[in-house]
């Protein structure tokens, strides 16, 4: 998420892991993908902890 959103990555290589932003992200799709329709919104899942990131959370949600 840090790379996708252009957030600083310094906190990713330190213990304890400190994310730049916590919580969900809801933004217009064009902010990241200019070819998307201007009505498209993106929802980026939040991470649960330092070891359970948004990719895992999204996968768990997709199973249900």
pLDDT of residue 42: 93
In a domain, 4, yes or no: no
Write the Ramachandran bin of 23: left for phi over 0, alpha for psi from -120 to 50, otherwise beta.
Answer: left
Report angle CA 32, 37, 38 to the nearest 5 degrees: 75
In a domain, 3, yes or no: no
Domain span at 39: 24-64
Give me the pLDDT at residue 20, please.
81
Both structure tokens of 56: 């895992």
Instruction: Look at residue 47 and tell me if it is in a domain.
Output: yes
The domain total for the chain is 1
Q: What is the pLDDT of residue 41?
A: 96
pLDDT one-digit tens code per residue, 8-62: 888 878 887 777 888 889 999 999 999 999 899 999 888 777 677 778 888 888 8
* Cα–Cα dist 52/42, whole Å: 20
5 found inside a domain: no
pLDDT of residue 23: 85
Residue 56 lies in a domain: yes
């Amino acid at each position: 998420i840090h790379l996708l959103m252009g957030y600083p990555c310094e906190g990713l290589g330190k213990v304890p892991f400190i994310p730049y932003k916590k919580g969900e992200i809801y933004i217009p799709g064009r902010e990241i993908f200019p070819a998307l329709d201007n009505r498209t919104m993106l929802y980026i899942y939040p991470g649960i902890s330092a070891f359970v990131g948004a990719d895992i959370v999204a996968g768990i949600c997709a199973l249900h």
